[in-house]
Structure 1
Amino acid sequence: MKYLIVGLGNIGAEYADTRHNIGFKVLDALAGASNTLFTTARYGDVAELKHKGRTLVLLKPSTYMNLSGKAVRYWLDAEKIPRENLLIISDDIALPFGTLRIRQRGSAGGHNGLKNIAELLGSEDFARMRFGVGGDFPRGHQVDYVLGEWTAEEREALPERLKVFGDAVLSFATIGVERTMNFFNKK
């Protein structure tokens, strides 16, 4: 069985350590823990991870956040992966830092990357995992906040949270979205 695991973020060194790139960070940590390397391919950096008889295609789109749907649609088709085996990892300012929320489907919630994916797939019916980045910013400064770098406290807590998110990704591919939701959404 194949799964497409997409971490949302923006390419370029200026975005590397920003809250908006947490999807990339989760995939980098998961790949690193498995000694898996990314290679540059069409519409993004891709790695293939084997876990308990499953193949996880990890994708960090190179299309920029707001155009992520193009990469997602391409890789779903190219790898012949059914939509129920798709998981999108994104940041969420409505959740406290480090909070993990998995849903089988849902709205974009104002997230332009998720909005573009839903638009290009013609449906909001795909699993998503949200990484809470908090919302401690003055009104009207959302963009500055998500494109801002982590605080020292957040940076210190990231390794442990990235491990939990990596475990949740592996769980999604192994036991499915519902059981993964029941286990990880309570943490």
Structure 2
Amino acid sequence: MAPARKVMVVADPTRESAAALQYALSHVVVEHDTIILLHVGNPNSWKNSFLFFKRPSPSTSAAASSTTALGSGGEMDFLEAMKHACEISQPKLHVIVEKVAMDGKEKAAVVLHWSIVYSVDLLVLGQRRSLSNVILGHRRNGALRGLDTAEYLIEHSKCTCVAVQKKGQNAGYLLNTKTQKNFWLLA
């Protein structure tokens, strides 16, 4: 049996982050691994909890599922929903949820710091690629050294870093790492 690994997924309330988690659960982690859901953000926004999905109506069978992550009004925090998805997909997986503040730093620097703190073996994050990113090669919003967060982490992470883009419902994933660019994985 292979030794347990630590896999960190950058968690945000976005489609890209959900795709990264889906990729990690279906292609990366195995039982007894540890998955760390890291959310980097502004603590003021945590007071108004992000919503990942609303509770199904009582007439559906899904309403009988766990309600521990439900907040006021029957809504579920996206981090709790992601943790719940991990527990359903891989029951023997150890799941850690971590919220950290940016404290005036760039998101990429904070993620890099926490990947070192947790000694992760693999870092997985969702990547949004717009046409301007592809053509210009960077974002205009001032990310570190002209790179977007995913590109910065791929280049500077001590562990393997995978940026994931979901391509359609059944079209698979486009993966970027330090050694493989635009690798197509059919799923």
Q: TM-score range by the shorter chain?
A: 0.3 to 0.5
Tell which structure's C-alpha radius of gyration is larger: 2
With normalisation by structure 1, the TM-score equals 0.36
- Which has the larger helix fraction? 1
With normalisation by structure 2, the TM-score equals 0.36
